[in-house]
Amino acid sequence: MYFTTPTICKRYYLILLLGVFLFASFTLSNKEVINPTTIQSYPLPENLNFAGEPVPIHIPDVYERMDRELMVNAYWHSNSLLMIKRINKYFPIIEPILEKHNVPNDFKYIAVIESGLINATSPAGAKGIWQIMRATAKDFKLEVNKNVDERYHLEKTTELACKYFLKAKEKFGSWTLAAASYNSGRARIARYLTTQQVNTYYDLLLGEETGRYVFRILAMKELLTNPSRYGFEVPSSHKYKRVLTRKLPVDSAISNLASFAKMHKVNYKQLKIFNPWLLENHLNNKSRKQYYIEIPTSKEN
């Protein structure tokens, strides 16, 4: 009953707090004090460029926009670590196609910022690693229907992206503007250039997404090219590996893809992982088109 009186309750809590304080002081005095991790501001690298075109960081707003994207990605640890791991798997597929079309290697970072190198679907309906809209896919002769969606075919969509970049470069005379137009469309960039009476991306006043777009590309280029500069250490054994496959030509319908997979010594899950453009458990192929279905042949290359 006496514990309910205010005076004794206060004394009891004061004694308890004193005990906790003394115990904590004794414990800390017998252990090494660990300093918190230093959170630092990284300097912008010298000679920043996209596809050989210099980034004018001497312009204050350009400096700040570039700094923002570098800081965001340098401290978005989980995402940056995943990108370091994934590029080991996907860049060897993308890079030769860019080279074949004489598209600068820097354009591979667009795939990184568009989808995080997964077969994503955007709220607007863009799909795949290159985030292709249905209308764009059909304009470039990709097949899109309930049975097959080639927006999930990495090699074909990289070919599509290259054709887009080359057309945009021809229109604008600038790889940087070509990259920006991949986000907003060529017509919109052309309209902005005309109405604002400028001729470079860095002089345009743009909406939030397109205004950040090239800087996001540049930030990922810097981080993925120099990960250790920003504290990222990823052993080779932790990076995701490509799995060797063989391409099996098919020019007829397949009534059951699970049975087809089993016949070729893989399971249905594996077949779908390597051929995400196959949407259903069968392939219609009424036109007898020739497809190439990838069959894994080993765990890694």
pLDDT score of 25: 54
What is the C-alpha separation between 218 and 231, in angstroms, rounded? 18
What is the C-alpha separation between 251 and 235, in angstroms, rounded? 42
Domain 49-238 is of which CATH architecture?
A: Orthogonal Bundle (1.10)
pLDDT score of 11: 55
pLDDT score of 146: 96
The segments of the chain whose pLDDT lies below 50 read 1-8, 28-31, 33, 300-301
pLDDT digits (tens, 9 = 90+) for 194-223: 999 999 999 999 999 999 999 999 999 999
Beta-carbon contacts of residue 141 (< 8 Å; ≥ 6 apart): none
pLDDT digits (tens, 9 = 90+) for 251-292: 999 999 999 999 999 999 999 999 999 999 999 999 999 999
As a three-state string, the secondary structure of the chain is CHHHCHHHHHHHHHHHHHHHHHHHHHHHHCCCCCCCCCCCCCCCCCCCEECCEECCCCCHHHHHHHHHHHHHHHCCHHHHHHHHHHHHHHHHHHHHHHHHCCCCHHHHHHHHHHHCCCCCECCCCCECCCCECHHHHHHCCCCECCCEEHHHCHHHHHHHHHHHHHHHHHHHCCHHHHHHHHHHCHHHHHHHHHHHCCCCHHHCCCCHHHHHHHHHHHHHHHHHHCHHHHCCCCCHHHCCCCCCEEEEEECCCECCHHHHHHHCCCCHHHHHHHCCCECCCCECCCCCCCEEEEEECCCCC
Q: What are φ and ψ of residue 248, in 5° steps?
A: -100, 115
CA-to-CA dists, residue 158 to 111, 144, 152, 220, 226, angstroms = 9, 16, 10, 19, 25
pLDDT score of 3: 34
pLDDT score of 36: 56
pLDDT score of 40: 86
Extract the tokens encoding 280: 């259903």
Beta-carbon contacts of residue 42 (< 8 Å; ≥ 6 apart): 70, 71, 74, 229, 230
Contact status, residue 240 vs residue 129, Cβ threshold 8 Å: no
How far the first Cα of the chain sits from its last, in Å, is: 76
Extract the tokens encoding 249: 């030509």
Domain boundaries, the chain: 49-238, 245-296
- Residue positions counted in the chain: 301
For the chain, the maximum distance between any two Cα atoms, rounded to a whole number of angstroms, is: 92
Extract the tokens encoding 5: 């009186």
